Each structure stands twice: as structure tokens, then as C-alpha cells.
Chains A and B, each alone.
Chain A
């Protein structure tokens, strides 16, 4: 993180959350009966919100805990480019919301943001949200 090099930090931990959009399609087969027809077994898609939360101290001289442009670039390169406007069946064996957020969580942990990455959440619709495991409590 570029902002981490700018000098002394305060003791205050702040959580910054950024929202991104993912537009994906998928088809989920019924596990016990592949021929069963339901809403989920029809090919469909969602406009989803991806919320990525970072936990970090505030740097005294800049007042920032997160380099926004750097975070946007990493997430654009590693997450948006991989999943946005894609058929998730080509990426995930079982492309449920649960498996998608787990996959995004794993991807985020392998980026340069990992030291301050805290949690991600996926709002598939207004009625259901998936959250990655939180290893550290606020």
C-alpha cells in the first residue's frame, strides 16, 4: 500500500468499505435431480453489489487508512476483470453465491491488499447477501 509509507500512524483503527458492481450470469443444477426444473435451473443473472472492507490505522500526515485508487486498481484487475459480465459456470464448478464470495475472498487474500483486507460481502439481490468469513472481530 502506498499510503502506508507516508509516516507515523495513529492508534485508531478505521474500517473503510468500498462498493463495486458485478453483473454475472449462472445456472445452478439441482444436485439430487439434474433434470429438475426450477427458477435456479434456468440460465439467469444478477446485478450484484460487492462490498470490500479494509481495516487499517489512520496515517497522520495523509489522514488516510486506504489508498482508494490503489484499491480500485487491484480490485479491477483481480476481481472485476475475472467475474464481471461473465458466465460463472465457466469459472466455478457450482456457481452459487456462497461459492462466488468464497472465491472472491480467496482472490483478495492473494493480492497486495491482503494486509489490510478485512471482509467482503456480496449482495446477490435485495433479499440475500453472502459474507466472507471474518477472522478478526471489529
Chain B
């Protein structure tokens, strides 16, 4: 079995703010990540797919196919204000944790018809100093 990984970049804005909480509780919870106007990041999404090498193509998965899946996911997020522009994040805080899980769920849904492939891990870099891994 071989694992391949592919990266894609996107940029989004978000705000760490729970409208059901007081301003003080939001500040206490989100600390330096909290600001009234929100903020943004250049994200890097990386998917790792594990599978056997196909005898005819020599590939685990055609990277163009994986690119298409990743692009479909990131098109939902790229240059959006996640809290209001993306339906899922109207009811889920758009933290790095929830975004990586959102991406994982989308990618694995596309791989359902390829039982020989396993989505090993999805990693989301918020910056070079912080990233999240989700294994499902």
C-alpha cells in the first residue's frame, strides 16, 4: 500500500464569536483569536490517500481526480467569510478543527465509490505555526 498526499491553498475570513454568549465569555474563550471584526488566513489543505498501486496506470489515484475533489471542497470556502457565506458554518464555529472535519467529510464522500482507496488523513494549515489533523 502506498500513501500519496496532495496540497491545495485557499483564503478565507472568519470570526470566533458565539452569539449566544456574552462579549466577556467570547473574549475569555477565544482569547487572542477573538476580535469584533473577524480575521482571515491563507490556508493549506493537504489530503493523504492510501491504496494499492494500479497495475495498469502505476498510480494509487490520478492526481487530477484528487485535485478535482480538493478544488470542489475549497471552492466552497475560498474568498468567503465562513460564518455567513457557508451554510455549514452558520451553525458550526469555523475553527481550524471544524474546517478540517468539514473538508474530510467532503473528500471521503467522493472516495466512497473507490473502495480500494482510504482517506488516511486530512491536514489543514492555518499558518506555519498551527495546523490540525483529522483521521476520521
Interface residue ranges, A against B (CB under 8 Å): 2-3, 6, 12-20, 53, 58, 61-65, 67-70, 138
Number of interface residues of B (CB under 8 A): 28
Question: For B21, what are the chain A residues with a Cβ–Cβ distance below 8 Å?
Answer: 61
Question: For A63, what are the chain B residues with a Cβ–Cβ distance below 8 Å?
Answer: 16, 92-95, 97-98
Interface residue ranges, B against A (CB under 8 Å): 16, 18, 20-21, 28-33, 92-98, 100-101, 121, 128-135
B131 smallest CB distance to A (angstroms): 5
B71 smallest CB distance to A (angstroms): 23
Contact B101 A64 (CB under 8 A): no
Provide the bound-state CA to CA distance between A53 and B95, in Å: 17
Contact B129 A58 (CB under 8 A): no
Contact of B30 among A15, A19, A58, A62 (CB under 8 A): A62
Provide the bound-state CA to CA distance between A65 and B98, in Å: 9
Contact B29 A16 (CB under 8 A): no
A16-B94 contact in complex given A3-B29, A6-B29, A69-B32, C-beta closer than 8 Å: no
